[in-house]
Structure 1
Amino acid sequence: MAEQPKLLGTLPSPFVHRVIWALKLKAIPYEFIIEEDLTNKSPLLLKYNPVHKKVPVFLHGDKPVCESMIIGEYIDEVWPQNPLLPKDPYERAQARFWVKFAEDKGTAVFRMFSSKGEELEKTKKETLEMLQTVEEHGIGEKKFFGGESIGIADIAFGSVVYGLEIIEEAIGEGAVFEDEGRAEMSERDVDMPRRDHSFPVSK
């Protein structure tokens, strides 16, 4: 019997959740290994991600894969059920475009943790513009980026919305983002196994 893959991560990291969602959407059993303290990195993390020393790290046998969206594509190639990327080359390119957009523009959300005053207002504006762009040009009238099923672009943006909710709770800015686009994205995001933490945990 093949050894279960392992995921080294910490909660509530939105980037770790990207990998969790990919694994759950494909119904892949795995072992979750908690990285207890990112200020005091474990020997396991330093061994398997010596370059960036960050989570998530996905272990397939003794082979480590790093960076959340790279892990997502790796999982999609190794386990083809419930595909996350379209087969059509053009549609696949479009999905990767929106993943890149999430990577580039989603940083505004996470900057809110350390922003104050004018800088905080700027990050709020950037975040709202990002959500409106996604709603208008990315999803439109569709249920998800790719149509009726969750794909890799939805995972990328799901982590942004998830991170936004955490930050809103932390800094008390929830009311700022009660716009139509945000509400629609959050409603779609309900279909993500996003708050289900009932996965195997090993310390």
Structure 2
Amino acid sequence: MVEDGLKLYGTKLSPFVLRVEWALEVKGIKYEYVTEDLKNKSPQLLEYNPVYKMVPVLVHHENPVCESIMILEYIEDVWKNHGSSILPSDPYERAEARFWAKFSEEKQCLQGCFEVFSKTGEEQLKAVKELQERLKTLEEYLEGKKFFGGETIGLVDIVAGWIPSWIPIIEEIVGIKIVDEEELPLIYAWMHDILELDLVKKTMPPLDEVKTHMRNIREDVLRKTN
């Protein structure tokens, strides 16, 4: 049964929306999914997120929560006794998880990936090396664990979920290997384990649609920069 008054406004091709879906699946929370067309945004989305006018937006009893990481924290707070915990119970471990989630979210990793995707030639090769070094740093937090959250996925796995979901597609489009099994063995194994999760298989959009979407983004970016 759908949780009373719970709606997720999103689009299937957004990795940021996917994070929220994964968190709700981990918690075993049922919800209504409202598909948004970002080229023709609904009045409801504009009302619920008047600042950024973007997805995801989680609406709970008519109270909107915006920004994916804020939504993840909200889900953990409201449904802390449901399903698995997204954050550790120990305060230090919670702070540590938040630190590495932020590391994977901001310029250290996510922006680095976009640099690879949006560059060509020597600039692109430089961006690949820089991204690999950042992933090596992230890999240190994975040492001795199957997932960043331990035996089950947690905040860092969910926030960094764009890595296994999108990097293989980026590698295919740009023709460069980013995550090599020898250079990044823990990240490589983690990516495989994430993609094997039932909740990931259940929520991932069709691969051909993602590839087409990503190719269109790259072509648009290269056209604007050339």
Bucket of the pairwise TM-score, normalised by the shorter protein: 0.7 to 0.9
Unaligned ranges ≥5, structure 2: 206-226
Which residue matches 1:87? 89
Residue 179 (structure 1) shift: 3.3
Alpha-carbon distance in structure 1 between the residues aligned to 2:53 and 2:169:
23
**SS state at 2:58 partner:** strand
**Is the contact made by 2:10 and 2:17 (CA closer than 8 Å) also made in structure 1?**
yes
Alpha-carbon distance in structure 1 between the residues aligned to 2:48 and 2:21:
18
The 1:2–1:25 alpha-carbon spacing in structure 2 relative to 1, beyond 3 Å, is: closer
Which residue matches 1:99? 101
Q: CA RMSD in A?
A: 2.2
**Is the contact made by 1:109 and 1:163 (CA closer than 8 Å) also made in structure 2?**
no
Which residue matches 2:70? 70
Residue 114 (structure 1) shift: 2.5
Alpha-carbon distance in structure 1 between the residues aligned to 2:204 and 2:173:
24
Counterpart amino acid of residue 147 in structure 1: G
**Is the contact made by 1:110 and 1:163 (CA closer than 8 Å) also made in structure 2?**
no
User: What is the number of equivalent residue pairs in this alignment?
Assistant: 196
Which residue matches 2:11? 10
The 1:195–1:165 alpha-carbon spacing in structure 2 relative to 1, beyond 3 Å, is: farther
The 1:111–1:4 alpha-carbon spacing in structure 2 relative to 1, beyond 3 Å, is: farther
Alpha-carbon distance in structure 2 between the residues aligned to 1:145 and 1:14:
18
**SS state at 1:85 partner:** coil
Alpha-carbon distance in structure 2 between the residues aligned to 1:187 and 1:153:
16
Residue 93 (structure 1) shift: 0.5
The 1:198–1:165 alpha-carbon spacing in structure 2 relative to 1, beyond 3 Å, is: closer
Residue 118 (structure 1) shift: 3.0
Structure 2 counterpart of 1:185, from 182, 187, 190: 190
Structure 2 counterpart of 1:112, from 106, 110, 116: 116
Residue 191 (structure 1) shift: 4.8
Report which stretch shifted further, 122-131 or 12-21. Answer: 122-131
**Is the contact made by 2:3 and 2:31 (CA closer than 8 Å) also made in structure 1?**
no
Which residue matches 1:144? 147
**Is the contact made by 1:26 and 1:79 (CA closer than 8 Å) also made in structure 2?**
yes
**Is the contact made by 2:163 and 2:191 (CA closer than 8 Å) also made in structure 1?**
no
The share of aligned pairs that are identical, in percent, is 46
Alpha-carbon distance in structure 2 between the residues aligned to 1:188 and 1:133:
20
The 1:4–1:29 alpha-carbon spacing in structure 2 relative to 1, beyond 3 Å, is: farther
**Is the contact made by 2:132 and 2:178 (CA closer than 8 Å) also made in structure 1?**
no
The 1:16–1:121 alpha-carbon spacing in structure 2 relative to 1, beyond 3 Å, is: same
Unaligned ranges ≥5, structure 1: none
**SS state at 1:55 partner:** coil
Alpha-carbon distance in structure 1 between the residues aligned to 2:44 and 2:172:
32
Alpha-carbon distance in structure 2 between the residues aligned to 1:196 and 1:5:
20
**SS state at 2:54 partner:** coil
The 1:115–1:45 alpha-carbon spacing in structure 2 relative to 1, beyond 3 Å, is: farther
Could you list the per-position Cα deviations for residues 134-170 of structure 1 after superposition, in whole angstroms to 9, with x for gaps in the alignment? 11x2111111223222111111111233122332344
Q: Is it true that 1:32 corresponds to 2:33 in the alignment?
A: yes
Report which stretch shifted further, 123-132 or 47-56. Answer: 123-132
Counterpart amino acid of residue 6 in structure 1: K
